[in-house]
Structure 1
């Protein structure tokens, strides 16, 4: 009873954490939106004396030499960024072809820099790319952790060094005491030097039970040079675009590093607005705001948009098959093709933003004069208004493009084609039309990549996508206020329709965007509550059992319990069994059946979960399924390791199995006898088995489990062979066997023994089963998974390890998992990792909670054991 009260208290204490994890993305999105709004209005007030024409003049005054230098430094920065990944792979001891690493890193940074941490990320691209080269999820996580930490530490060290050198100059610009600037910079450098000293030999340090291997001096110094080159080159991109100024490069580097840091910490996509605000706050008293704004606009275009466009062009070159015939480049070319959806999705986001921003800025007078000579005003007004809505439509379609939806592809293609025509009708926008043409060509050349049949309307936008769209619309509103700062607002502006009246046209476009975006947000946020699909019918179970018996995974016989829902592939040759608890749709293990249908079935399950307002998760999946899960945007988290015994190599006479041999012989001396009862004959002994099971449950003060474990249901027990151990003719232990017709694998589910069974009866039972199955021609025996096995020295994702370790500590407590590793190791098995695949770390923690409740029979079942 005390244990039950303790568990109940722990559950109540975890409710706050669970609520935070559930709504973490909504909270983060809201915070980012609030931060951006405050910063955006701060920038608007900073530019109170600046006019739109001044910014255009500053842009036109930028020399082509400065632009060429900015492009050169952008190339140098991205070259350094590629070596982040190269060093990370070297750090974890994995070697990959450099062209493939270069393609992956370039695409990851081109996408990640443009959209920031939000809807698309460089981390997801690395999971998709590196997993195809055989890297485990842990390896990829270590790569991501390395590049993230390397950038952060590099940014700290470079900014601290620059600040230490030019503290008086920076202090004068920021109006801060130079002493405190130098003190802070020195403190940062001392801390970094201490870290470098501690890690000089590549030693491992313990952090709360975790072991983290620090990079050695060679790796650290090499990465510092790479980080310094990256930050110096990216800072030079903006520096060469600035007008002539007496601000030295070291001073500017310190301010730039601080601006980048605040942009990253703000969690606003691409640091939009936050970066600009810090730069303007630091340099506005030495450089004109209008010139600063012009330089910042060019910086964003060159450093953020240009690499993305270059990646798209390279993708189109790859599609012409010119590179695939050259040795050394074929693999990289194929990899670029696989990353096409992420690139095209990001380009859709950029072009949608461009269409929205262009709807709130004035059209050049020469273009308006040209249009007025050939087109009636209603056509120009309609093209202008509809172009903004098409921009919003492309923002919505961008998510579906990233998920390879054919519906999103058709919507994006149609929207881009119409917007291409409108670009000439509204403003003779040649640059805009060129980008749309590139986008259309990229869609057409990569049409086969968007092969998932799904309607765009079925998929509601998540909180981070909604926050990103809100950021873009707020930015458009600030731009509108800035451009028409001197226009006096009046109600009559809404009804003014003239070629020369640009402010009313922008107001109407923004109003239409606000209404349409609100409708999208309401549709996404007020989607139907998550629903539960129907339980399987007897016919469904019979159909699933028939598939199960034709394949090699013995655990698939858990479908016989009938407690899990079933999702069949369109052909009916494969299925997924899953359970629902809360918002979690949890698939148990890999799909069962025809392997060629697994990728589409994984997508079918994820799509169904999202359409039902749920969170898709795959529990205890094998490494073979990771690629399919990565392709649908899921991340893998290691759960433990599965113990597999090769029956052809199992020899009880071996010295390695001496302890098992002694246990087996002791059981024979004690009078134990083993036999396997065929499924057809189990009915005759099911009463004896029930009695043993009830006594076992009472002795262990526990209740039946479900989902990933079978319960003692007579129909379920009688559907499979049962291995029994008798003492003087009385059954004292039994285990239900799960097998398939292929004889590729066998395993056990229920394992129960009488409290008065001789010591070592379970060892005797397992050894006897393995010997029997080996003689019957089975190739492999599955001993089941050991939770947390192989995770103790994991270097990546310490937060996940702590959360997962805590949850699985409860899992072991409830399911008697403690000590399983030691017991299974006696059989000298081969250990194979098993994973949980879900969208993110918070989703993983929530999914594990829901798995606990599914197995334990809900909250009441967990509390009462």
Structure 2
């Protein structure tokens, strides 16, 4: 039995180790799985198009009727109009009202980026977070908006596909070699499942599907949104349908095929469903429509439905940057949102055009263009232009990430690469369309130049697993296109060294080789680059500079920098700073950045990038709503942490019925012989021994140890820096609190509050009241009572999971922490409650970040256990 037990322990440890390994490398493993899937899809496309030739596809493209293109444009417009109403309905669903032009631009841009870059919930979600945080929505509300549009599209897509499949199973069965009865049973099961979900989730009730919890809106909102989704899918399917040649396939049959292809493309996690969508369409329609015609239609569909909306979004935002439109009321509102959206739009456009340059390097140049070039240019120039333009495309792909982060270096790389690529596109193939697209990117970059002011080197940027995967997908896609285009060319090693105007295949091979080598070098450099040095506590000089900044601003909590236990990151001009610590793989910034407001956006971004360069997550702890839009710009997600209690000292007066209990407490304290006094900083050293005795007695009585980071500790150097309020009884100090203030006299607060075991009951309340009256008499406007953790979390059924967990812990977690008691104590002073947030970079887990913050405050796991 013992042997079996040991074996089970070993097996359990191995399983746990495997789970831990998977969690640690989940992003990388997901990227590798997606890349492997794309390779399989590429192989499938090559096999499915075995009888198709590139010239046939080009001919099919040229034969597309102008009327078909016009119809495709019309239905693209209708589809995106429906997509805009996803956001309109979502805003109404969360109970807010926002100007329609801003919502429309946000929704349009989110889908233009999501359709092109893929990962719609993430890429489109980032667009929404940036825009809606600017328009005043809270992180909780933005999260509900993103969940609404994602869930409504997914359920609507499944419903439309199932209904269409149920109706036309007899027609679609021969296309995929599956029995019509099987298809109807499958469709019926999907519809029945959706029906059960709708019934269980009626009126916003929660549905638990294993570990996943889904909350649906009320029946009226859901019905309206389903109609919007159905109209959107029908319109987008029609875009491709009108581009296909006349065929023996009805529109309802094609709608079912299209819906399935879109769904599989989304589930594949391949960017924009590239290849997956095309494979499903080709496999389904290959027996009814010529494959070369299908491929031509798919190329046009991608251009019209994916590329064109992105260009329109960039143009709309660029137009508001022009002076003659700046004073128009609608344009000025859109312009404010456009400032948030433009970097992401240009990032996506740069990515798209980079892919275009890479793919064009493996496709042949029209014969007439080559003949023209041969008459005016020597072969080495054409060969060099062809090879370099592919590498410039890769540069645009890499710079795209920096554009999304507003890096000035990325702006310069993008504009120089685009300008060079524009020139080379004319030298290599007289590619006028390609040149126009690149000119459009250059125009957008010039118009928005003022947005890219963050100084950084692209060499210091770490490409994430998703970006490395995207680059790998591009390289594999180029190889697949090369194999398709030159399938009739017999490969030999001599091809690499053939240089002639008609040698298109060798030219494509050399381009692919160059792209692959440079991409591999980028990946290796990104994965193996040295990790930045661990942050160290601030030096004496840095600490004094930070204290000087604190003295000039209004937030009393910023005095915690005087503890000297935190690292400090200054702004470029040295007029603002972030104080932070490291725990585990988290860099945790305490409060909002302190100092000049104009320096805050740059400082937030620098902190996030420095943490990422060190292989860590960036975390902002106890931040105000004012910082949320800057966190959104830096790609952070925010979660409500609790509420800060702030009392108005201008109206603070111990009169009236609501203050009766505190008046009685104060009167009793005075009868008990308690006397209040404030010791000036210069006189604190004389009382230090008595203060230390009270502090030690308090720690021993509470079986506690000193905290840190967001709480001060009894350190003589820290205590003497600010005034100390004390309570005396018979001439002996029995309680004290250090008072944190600044010369601005706007806000005061206390940090350490300690009392001896023999202090009379009610001493804490009395000390608070006396300090508040003292600060009021000194001309201070507010008294910061500190934060009540997990207070104010939403309890509504539609609340985010984070809020529901927080409210549950708040209600039932008294065993571990006095959440409700702390809120009740602060409420006695009738404060105003202000939300405070935790912001985490990237896809970071907020629970891990919060645990790291807790360990940092408590001095590690042992400190937390010992309170």
Band the TM-score falls in, shorter-chain normalisation: over 0.9
**Quick check: 11-20 or 725-734, which moved more?**
11-20
Aligned counterpart for 2:317 among listed residues 296, 301, 315: 315
Describe the shift of the 1:795–1:491 C-alpha distance in structure 2 as closer, same or farther (beyond 3 A): farther
Distance 1:108 1:546 in 2: 43
Aligned residue in 1 for 2:9: none
Tell me the residue number matched to 2:60: 58
Structure 2: distance between partners of 1:849 and 1:15: 21
* Residues 324 and 334 in structure 1, CA contact (< 8 A), matched pair in contact too: no
Name the counterpart of 1:269: 271
What is the correspondence of 1:69-468 to structure 2 with a 5 Å cutoff? 69-117=71-119, 121-197=123-199, 201=203, 214-468=216-470
Counterpart of 1:703 in structure 2 is 705
The residue number in structure 2 matching 1:630 is 632
Partner of 1:745: 747
Q: Per-residue displacement from partner, 1:796-824 (whole Å, max 9, x unpaired)?
A: 78454578789999999887656322222
Instruction: Kindly state the Cα deviation for residue 20 of structure 1 after the two structures are TM-superposed.
Output: 5.2
Is 1:773 the counterpart of 2:775? The answer is: yes
2:41, 2:701 → 1: CA distance? 64
Q: Deviations over 1:443-463 (max 9, x none)?
A: 122211211122222212111
Change (3 A) 1:350 1:612: same
Displacement, 1:214?
4.5
CA distance in 1: counterparts of 2:62 and 2:578, whole angstroms: 60
Alignment of structure 1 residues 670-709 onto 2, 5 Å: 670-709=672-711
Pick aligned residue for 2:786 from 784, 787, 800: 784
Deviates more, 1:388-397 or 1:33-42: 33-42
Aligned to 1:8: none
Distance (whole Å) between structure 2 residues aligned to residue 89 and residue 100 of structure 1? 12
* Greater alpha carbon shift after TM alignment, 145-154 vs 797-806: 797-806
CA deviations on 1:470-521 (whole Å, 9 max, x unpaired) are 1111111111111111222211111111111111111111111111011111
- C-alpha separation between the residues in 2 aligned to 1:793 and 1:841? 25
SS state of the match for residue 837, structure 1?
strand
1:618 aligned residue? 620
CA pair 818-561 structure 1, distance change in 2 beyond 3 A:
farther
User: Is it true that 1:732 corresponds to 2:734 in the alignment?
Assistant: yes
Give the C-alpha shift of residue 145 in structure 1.
Answer: 1.4
Q: 1:658 to 1:281 in 2, by over 3 A?
A: farther
Q: How far apart, in 2, do the equivalents of 1:362 and 1:684 lie?
A: 87
Pair 1:821–1:282, CA change in 2 (3 A): farther
Q: Out of 311-320 and 259-268, give the one that drifted further.
A: 311-320
Partner of 1:711, secondary structure, is coil
1:17-64 deviation per Cα after TM superposition (whole angstroms, max 9, x unaligned): 776555443233222222222222222222222222222222222211
Give the Cα–Cα distance (whole angstroms) in 1 for the partners of residues 14 and 724 of structure 2: 41
Secondary structure, aligned partner of 1:485: coil
Q: Give how far 1:218 is off.
A: 2.5
Equivalent residues of 2:585, 2:617 under 8 A apart? yes
1:607-643 C-alpha deviation (Å, 9 max, x unpaired)? 3333444332221111111222222222222211111
Counterpart among 504, 507, 515 of residue 505 in structure 1: 507
Which moved further from structure 2: 14-23 or 189-198? 14-23
The answer on whether the counterparts of 1:736 and 1:748 sit within 8 Å (CA) in structure 2 is yes
Partner of 2:852: 850
Q: State the distance in 2 between where 1:344 and 1:42 align.
A: 33
Where does 1:31-42 land on structure 2 (aligned, <5 Å)? Answer: 31-42=33-44
The answer (yes or no) to whether the contact 1:174–1:282 under 8 Å persists in 2 is yes
Q: For this pair of structures, how many residues does the alignment match?
A: 855
Give the drift of 1:671.
3.4
Residues of 2 paired with 1:120 and 1:202: CA distance?
24
CA deviations over 1:98-125 (Å, ceiling 9, x no partner): 1111111111111111001289711111
Cα 1:202–1:816 change in 2 (3 A) is closer
Task: Report the alpha carbon displacement of residue 196 of structure 1 after superposing the two structures with TM.
Answer: 4.1
Cα distance change, pair 220–118 in 1 and its aligned pair in 2 (3 A): closer
| Contact 1:484–1:503, Cα closer than 8 Å, also in 2 | yes
Query: 2:520 aligns to what?
Result: 518
CA contact (8 A) 2:411 2:445 kept: yes
TM score, norm. by length of structure 1: 0.93
Structure 1's 841 and 522: CA in aligned 2 closer, same or farther, altered over 3 A?
closer
Deviation at 1:197, TM superposition (A): 4.6
* Partners of 1:119 and 1:464 within 8 A in 2: no
Task: Return closer, same or farther for 1:17/1:176 CA change in 2, 3 Å cut-off.
Answer: same
| Distance across 1 between alignment mates of 2:597 and 2:298 | 51
Whole-angstrom distance in 2 between the partners of 1:842 and 1:814: 25
- Equivalent residue number for residue 5 of structure 2: none
Deviation track 1:538-593 (CA, whole Å, cap 9, x = no partner) reads 12212211211111100000010001111222322221111123332221111112
Q: Judging changes above 3 Å, is the alpha-carbon distance between structure 1 residues 797 and 524 closer, same or farther for their aligned structure 2 residues? A: farther
Is the alpha carbon distance of 1:701 and 1:816 closer, same or farther for their aligned partners in structure 2, counting shifts above 3 Å?
farther
Distance 2:580 2:17 in 1: 24
Per mean C-alpha deviation after superposition, the further-off stretch among 245-254 and 672-681 is 672-681
Q: Secondary structure at the match of 1:819?
A: helix
CA gap of 1:368–1:288, structure 2 versus 1, over 3 A, is: same
CA-CA distance at 1:206 after TM superposition: 10
Preserved CA contact (<8 Å) 1:527 1:613? no
Task: Structure 1 unaligned segments of length 5 or more: list them.
Answer: 1-10
Is contact 1:746–1:780 with CA below 8 Å preserved after alignment?
yes
Residues of 1 paired with 2:828 and 2:566: CA distance?
33
**Contact 1:814–1:862, Cα closer than 8 Å, also in 2:** no
Other-structure match for 1:3: none
Q: CA deviation at 1:264?
A: 1.1
CA distance in 2, matches of 1:151, 1:412: 34
Retained in 1: the 8 A contact 2:318–2:444? yes
| DSSP 3-state at the match of 2:784 | strand
Assess if the C-alpha contact under 8 Å between 1:36 and 1:268 holds in 2: yes
Tell me whether 1:645 sits opposite 2:647 in the alignment: yes
**Bigger mean CA offset, 813-822 vs 123-132:** 813-822
Q: 1:271 to 1:808 in 2, by over 3 A?
A: farther
Give distance in 1, aligned partners of 2:154 and 2:237. Answer: 15
The verdict on how the C-alpha distance between 1:425 and 1:715 changes in structure 2, with shifts beyond 3 A counting, is: same
C-alpha distance in 2 between matches for 1:808 and 1:386? 60
Name the stretch that deviates more: 855-864 or 53-62: 855-864
* Conserved 8 A contact 1:744-1:778: yes
CA distance in 2 between partners of 1:715 and 1:380 (Å): 72
Q: What SS is found at the alignment partner of 1:586?
A: strand
1:323 match: secondary structure = helix
Report the CA distance between 1:297 and its aligned residue: 1.4
Q: Which has the higher contact order (CA 8 A, sep 6+)?
A: 1
Distance 1:622 1:210, change over 3 A: farther
